[in-house]
A and B are shown apart, each in its own frame.
Chain A
């Protein structure tokens, strides 16, 4: 795998990409949000101080899902009425992206899915049923969330958000779906709840006293 190297246009620090598909990254020294162009990196913003975080996962945490190794390359942080959660950007060993959400240590892994006729924001209600990939899902909760920041490498540009609506759908299996209204058009993520131990995570954070 190639390891493109560049310098932060803001502070000059070396930026090493863990993943060639990376579209956006953050400088870990000056916290500039950097977007890759054909030629170089462009600073598009600055990450405010991230709120104190208690996730056991961090950048470079490694694990495996369905016999595919992955490494944590980045994350998006959100807050809502009942606390915050992380969407960790996983780079699988086949080069694809996946998302590991960690809300109070409840872990769920999902990947983006294509489906026609996704409902527009504000046209979904709790209890509504949908069927994707021969699996039926029921809308369980609609969460207005607040974008709190980004870290590391992401597969798309994501930095100028404020309010983002998420529609969570559950099934009678461990499978779940999320409709992400970060953009005017909904993005569908399909995935399943996963067990912490099952992910065989390495390089986790250390907690004082644990």
Chain B
């Protein structure tokens, strides 16, 4: 473009306008350079026509709600998401549900280049709100039906609540015709940390999109003194403190579980499961002369340091056998002492047949280095048992076997964090939705004596 155009004198630089309230004479500053439609006198709270050079009175202030004070004073400037904004308007709004009136506050922010933006505050919960540039897609004909929702920029929002919101108190200036007592139908759809709201007034629907902010972010942005009021309860679009996407969490868990299975199969494949000893012995129960222990032949455990599985089998029936083992390294004398019991009882009683115990027992000795070994075995049994005085028992020893148990333990340990996080998230979401038009069904029937407040 050629810049040969003559220099324009141009209109004078817009300045914040100073005027006086026609009702009480207090000075009034218009901060939005002519964008205001109405301005409220900070002293007598009359609503004035900001477009009228004489500030005609549109509505006189009636109620004694002077105690309502904006947490961010009008005229305060702050930097929100990189843009400077000035607080130019404030309104308190209310809705009544089951005869309880809830109040929230809205702050109007202005930047002469970027336009308007809003902050809302309810019980210490804040939202940064701007007008939607695109039309959301509402799903379902009846927007307040449970499970209905809206889609905005490809994101799914769930219907939270529809209520009649009326303006209760106003301060400062607004780019629209604001009136105390005016009621709009407000519908909120949530997708934490965002909330999509439609506001219907005189058949005109305005959509806005809000994002949850913590009080401390507001305090930092506007450099406010002291600390923000503490947030109470869970707000409709408050991000879950869990802060983790549960789907990803469980996918990660599934990943680890698959890894465990792969590990298990892998070790099963590379385990040698090598038989090193298989012998059947007879215990002479009548031989009570004490010392019945004996040693086996020396056998070799090969390969890397690994486990040894000892299986004890005895066809006991309503009887027991106890075997004291010592696995002894022939070269170093190092010993692993352990005792195993095999017992099996069965019979009939009034409830039918029963049994207890097994004829098999197995134990795994971990981390046994390679070398030459033998067992010292010392069996015991009830010497008073009648019948054949011999109890046979078989000892089967294998080197390097896969152990499934540790995988189970690892699985359970892995399961704990996602389970705890999911439970916390579940309980947070319940608290959130209890405030909605679609409260969750109670887990337990409400008990009459308990008070959970």
Contacts and interface: CB of A to CB of B under 8 A. Distances in A.
Contact of A54 (B33, B84, B114, B135): B33
A104 B8 contact: no
A174 interface: yes
Most buried by A among B10, B116, B133, B176: B133
A58 B133 contact: no
A105 B116 contact: yes
B14 A71 contact: no
Interface string A84-120: 0000000101000000000011100000000000000
A32 B203 CA distance: 41
Contacts of B34: 51-54
A206 B112 CA distance: 9
B137 A172 contact: yes
B31 to A, nearest CB: 9
A83 B5 CA distance: 31
A116 B287 CA distance: 114
B116 A54 contact: no
Interface residues of B, number: 38
A182 interface: no
A138 B37 CA distance: 28
B15 A208 contact: yes
Contacts of A209: 15-16
B415 interface: no
A196 B11 contact: no
A141 interface: yes
A145 to B, nearest CB: 15
Interface residues of A, number: 43
B35 A83 contact: yes
Nearest to A175: B134
A112 to B, nearest CB: 21
A171 B13 contact: no
Contact of A104 (B133, B137, B175): B175
B13 A205 contact: yes
Contacts, number: 107
Contact of B4 (A3, A52, A58, A172): A3
Contacts of B333: none
Given A3-B4, A54-B33, A138-B135, A104 B116 contact: yes
Main secondary structure of the interface of A (DSSP, over half): loop
B15 A82 contact: no
Contact of A59 (B8, B13, B204): B8
Contact of B37 (A82, A141, A174): A82
B134 A1 contact: no
A69 interface: yes
A207 B33 contact: yes
B5 A60 contact: yes
A83 B175 contact: yes
Interface string B19-63: 000000000000011110100000000000001000000000000
A75 interface: no
B410 to A, nearest CB: 49
Given A1-B2, A52-B14, A171 B135 contact: yes
B177 A196 contact: no
B442 interface: no
Contact of A82 (B2, B5, B177): B177
B131 interface: yes
A104 B115 contact: yes
A16 to B, nearest CB: 5
A181 interface: no
B114 to A, nearest CB: 6
Contacts of B420: none
Interface string B407-424: 000000000000000000
B34 to A, nearest CB: 4
A12 interface: no
B32 A54 contact: yes
Contacts of B35: 54, 83, 104-105
A83 B115 CA distance: 14
B232 to A, nearest CB: 34
Given A14-B6, A93-B1, A54 B14 contact: yes
8 closest pairs, A vs B, by CB?
A105-B115, A54-B33, A208-B15, A193-B133, A207-B112, A54-B34, A52-B34, A170-B135
Interface of A: 1, 3, 14, 16, 18, 28, 51-54, 56, 58-60, 62, 69, 71, 81-83, 91, 93, 104-106, 126, 138, 140-141, 170-174, 193, 196, 204-210
Given A104-B175, A105-B113, A196-B114, 16 more contacts: A16-B4, A16-B5, A28-B8, A60-B5, A81-B177, A82-B175, A104-B115, A105-B111, A105-B112, A105-B114, A106-B133, A205-B14, A207-B13, A208-B14, A208-B15, A208-B16
